[in-house]
Amino acid sequence: MKSVVAFANGTGGKIIFGIADKTREVVGFAKEDVFQKMDAIANAVSDSCEPAIIPDITLQTVDGKTIIVVEISEGRQRPYYIKALGKEDGVYVRVAGTTRPADEHMIKELMFEGSNRYFDQALCTGLNITEEDIDTLCKAMKEQAIKNAYTEGQKALVKEVGRQQLRSWGILIERDGKDYPSNAYAILTGCGGLHVATQCGVFKGTTKEVFVDRREYTGPLWEQIEEAFQFVLRNIHLGATITGVYRQDVYEIPPDAIRELIINATVHRSYLDHGTIQVAVYDDRLEITSPGKLPMGQTLERMKEGYSKIRNEALAHAFSYMNLIEHWGSGIPRIIGKVKAAGLLEPEFIGGEVDLRINIYRGQINGTAENNNAVKPPSNCRQMSRNRKFISMYWKMPVLQRHRR
């Protein structure tokens, strides 16, 4: 029953009866017993779980033996729990192929999903704001919208954002003629009791054993995004391509892809989870981790195909206005395309049950790529010396020293 509610609270799953647990041998059921077993399973699910879960129970024949397959669909009335344990102790979720009790923030997340509400649009208790605070936020958002516009035409189209717009997005909540802050307001501005931060680190090697540098950025979300973005650029290689007689500096990972990954992690993370976004630079990869499981109805495959499932609707509206995101759902496919066009491996997506981790592997810098678009040392340097050791040393030099060389 723990697995049943865990599947209903997640993306669904199957439980197979008639397989030996230790040996995985197909033992099956006798024909005279199988229908009695099916009824017992259906009754147990009905009697033990709340809200009601209706499993799809079928028979299959494997190696000439009859087994029972119980399929549990993704539930919409979350959280599901075991009646005898109650909602506080009876909620279970699937994590890395195992069934585990849900913690407090996971239960809250499931409750928001089950009621079709958004945490960022809920009232932020304990935070008081003034008219000046609201005006400051409106002004800052417009400045960001102009700053992030790509063309002069886009800048000219940026409109003023006012209280009514913030109310319609759910950043402000109007009650009795007065505006109160939602969680989105506290998250955007970095105010209130919600600790929202972005942690950045550089590690020696491919694990977190040895720190080289670490930073934690707080404050308004757009500032955290920019600080994290610049942190990565400072700690990855800057190469070059030669087109004719011109030299063009090129980062080993496309900067647009880096920035968009950080933005996606910021707007789509779970703010009920008290963890932080982590941006880690290793010798072999850039790793970005976003707290929280994937939203209900979302999978890694659908995400890579461009299917968008908004977790924070108010933040998504604000980010769209500030030109931080374009079309909802298009970000991940665009990131994949840019990374592959740079001659790198396709980004790796890991997790989704507790958090989401995305890896971009650094594999191009010493001319190792076969792709014509790969970042390579300038051709004049290759002509100066064909010694691979020299080229390796070249890329380890600071940028200004490389230019002099």
Neighbouring residues of 404: CB distance < 8 A, sequence distance ≥ 6: none
Instruction: Let me know: does 333 contact 305? Beta carbons within 8 Å.
Output: yes
Whether the predicted pLDDT of 386 surpasses 70: no
The whole-number average pLDDT for the span 16-38 is: 94
Which of 76-85, 170-179, 190-199 has the weakest average pLDDT?
Answer: 190-199
Which H or E run includes 140?
Answer: helix 131-147
Residues 119-129 have a mean pLDDT of 93
Long-range contact pairs involving 16-24 (C-beta distance under 8 Å, separation at least 24): 16/67, 16/68, 16/69, 16/70, 17/41, 17/67, 17/68, 17/69, 17/70, 18/65, 18/66, 18/67, 18/68, 19/67
Mean pLDDT over residues 256-270, rounded?
A: 95
Q: Do the two domains 2-102 and 198-404 of this chain adopt the same fold? A: no
pTM of this structure: 0.81
- CATH number of the 2-102 domain: 3.30.950.30
Q: In whole angstroms, give the CA distance from residue 116 to residue 180.
A: 22
What is the model's pLDDT at position 195? 84
* 3-class DSSP state of 235: coil
Confidence band (pLDDT; 50, 70, 90) for 385? very low
Asked if residues 72 and 7 have their Cβ atoms less than 8 Å apart, the reply is yes
Architecture of domain 198-404: 2-Layer Sandwich (3.30)
Q: Distance between CA 93 and CA 265 in Å, rounded?
A: 22
Residue 391 pLDDT? 34
Which string of DSSP letters, residue by residue, matches 146-178?
HHT-SSHHHHHHPPP--HHHHHHHTSEEEETTE
Per-residue pLDDT tens digits for 56-66 = 999 999 999 99
Residues 306-329: tens digit of each pLDDT: 888 889 999 999 999 999 987 565
The set of residues, in sequence order, having a beta carbon less than 8 Å from that of 136 and lying 6+ positions away, is: none
The domain segmentation of the chain, as residue ranges, is 2-102, 120-189, 198-404
pLDDT value at 395 more than 50: no
pLDDT at 118 over 60: yes
Tens digit of each residue's pLDDT (9 = 90 or more) over 224-245: 999 999 999 999 999 877 777 7
Q: What residue type is assigned to position 383 of the chain? A: Q
Please give the Cα distance from 40 to 336 (Å, whole number): 48
Q: Give Cβ neighbours of residue 383 (< 8 Å, ≥ 6 apart).
A: none
